[in-house]
Amino acid sequence: MDYLILLLGLGVLIVGGEFLVKGAIGCSTAFKISPLVIGMTVVSFGTSAPELLVSIQSALDGNPGIAIGNVVGSNIANIALVLGITVLIFPIFVERQTKIIDYPMMLGATVLFYAFSLDNLIAWWEGAILFATLITFTVYLITSSRKKTKKAVAEELDGNIEEAMKTPFWKSGVFLLIGLVGLFFGSGWFVDGAVGIAETVLADNPDKDSIIGVTVVAFGTSAPELVASTVAAFRKQSDISIGNLIGSNIFNVFAVIGITSMVKPIEVSDSVLGFDMYWMLGISALLFFIIWLGKRVGRMKGAILLLTYASYVTVILLKINGVI
């Protein structure tokens, strides 16, 4: 039964990813916004929405600290795991805007997140700063992209922008909605099936819960980003692919941590501050070299990212088993 649920979840994820990318392309045309910005906003916010809902519910239940592990783990996986797998399958090219605007914002969000955590508490006013920064950045992205894209389309079509509307907006919106719903339920079924299988395989291991948490669950919660980015890369929409991942990391910090800490201040443990945070900062810094060295992010860079993630998981497992 677990295998059936796993396959069902994987199938729904793939179909959802296809609809999501189709809808995103249509919306970018309808709103005269670049695919990169759609990836940075609509797609990334949609794929990160489950993390936001889980974190807010945890805060209301009196466990706001869950948001920290949720965000740190997700941000590490998005870059080292998801981007690594994506470019191993389909190498992607990185736009100049990603290098000089989007990546620096992601790095700035990561550093600010770390700075706010140094006193072991993210207060409500710090959360308000994070969330306000997200709103400001999103408005800037959309208005800037509309100006540039409008001009480009107008020059190409002699001002007849309507000709660029290949798909009706309502249809693109439906595709987008179907994609987001598919990714949400598909990832849930995928995780349930994978956890069930892992529990059977690791039945005699006393640390099975921790092992499953840092491997199967971590991979499963990143499945929406992985499928969306892979499908986008396959359809030659690399802007959406990398925009989704960088945008997800920005959204995780500014929205998930920001909103959750406004609901209830978040305590940051010394273990997270002295271990996971450093990995998140290090992988975010590594991304600078990944996107700036060479004209594209190819398979060699993907292998480096995956090895980094494997090292992170290995160290966690060694810590769990008391080896280090």
Handedness of CA 313, 317, 319, 323 (dihedral sign): negative
Residue 146: CB atoms within 10 A of its CB come to 15
Confidence (pLDDT) at 158: 44
Distance CA 71, CA 284 (A): 13
Distance CA 229, CA 301 (A): 16
Q: Residue 121: helix, strand or coil by DSSP?
A: strand
Task: Name the token pair of 195.
Answer: 């956890």
CATH class of segment(s) 2-320: mainly alpha
Question: Domains of the chain: which residue ranges?
Answer: 2-320
pLDDT in tens, 102-161: 999 999 999 999 999 999 999 999 999 999 999 999 888 888 877 765 555 444 434 434
Confidence (pLDDT) at 221: 66
Instruction: Identify the segments of the chain with pLDDT beneath 50.
Output: 153-164, 210
Distance CA 211, CA 106 (A): 29
Confidence (pLDDT) at 159: 43
Phi, psi of 265 (to 5 degrees): -50, 140
